[in-house]
Copies of this chain bind each other. A is one copy, B any other.
Amino acid sequence: MQTGDKYIQTFTLTSAVYNGFIEVFNDRNPLHTDNDFAIGKGFKGRVMHGNILNGFISFFIGECLPMKNVMIYSQNINFTLPVYENEEMEFNAEIAGFYDSVNTYEFKFFFKNTDGRKVAKGNIQIGLLR
C-alpha cells in the first residue's frame, strides 16, 4: 500500500441495508422514514441516513484492503447530495499519504451516484496494527 493507490468499490443502498440500519440504531426521523415529509422539504422521497455510508466505509477498511491488521483512527465525511433507497454508488478512495512515524495511512474518498455526481466525500486515517 502506497501513496496514490486507488480503490473502487460499488455499494448499493438496498432496502435490506436501510431497514437493517433502522433496526440496529432506531433513527426513524421523518426525513428518513416519511416520504411525504421528505417531499415537503424538497426531496424526491425519504432520504437515506448518511451514516449508512459510514457503515460502507467500515466494510471498505475492514475487508477490502490488502491487509487485515488495520484500525480506523479518525474519519470525516461531508454529505453533498441526498441518497435514496436502492441507489447504487461508486466508492472511490485514494491513499493520500503514509506517515511512517505514526504508522498511519490517510485516504481521501468520495461516493458518486450513477449520474456521476458526488454524494459524499471525506478522509479516513487508519493505523496498521503490529
A interface residue numbers (CB < 8 A to B): 16-17, 20-21, 23-32, 41-42, 47, 49-51, 54-59, 61-63, 68-79, 122, 129-130
Contacts and interface: CB of A to CB of B under 8 A. Distances in A.
Contact of A30 (B54, B68, B76, B122): B68
Nearest to A14: B24
A58 B62 contact: no
A29 to B, nearest CB: 3
A79 B70 contact: no
A72 B50 contact: yes
A41 B26 contact: no
Contacts of A30: 68
Contacts of A31: 62, 68-71, 129
Contacts of A79: 71-74
A73 B80 CA distance: 7
B73 A78 contact: yes
Given A58-B49, A71-B31, A74-B76, A24 B24 contact: yes
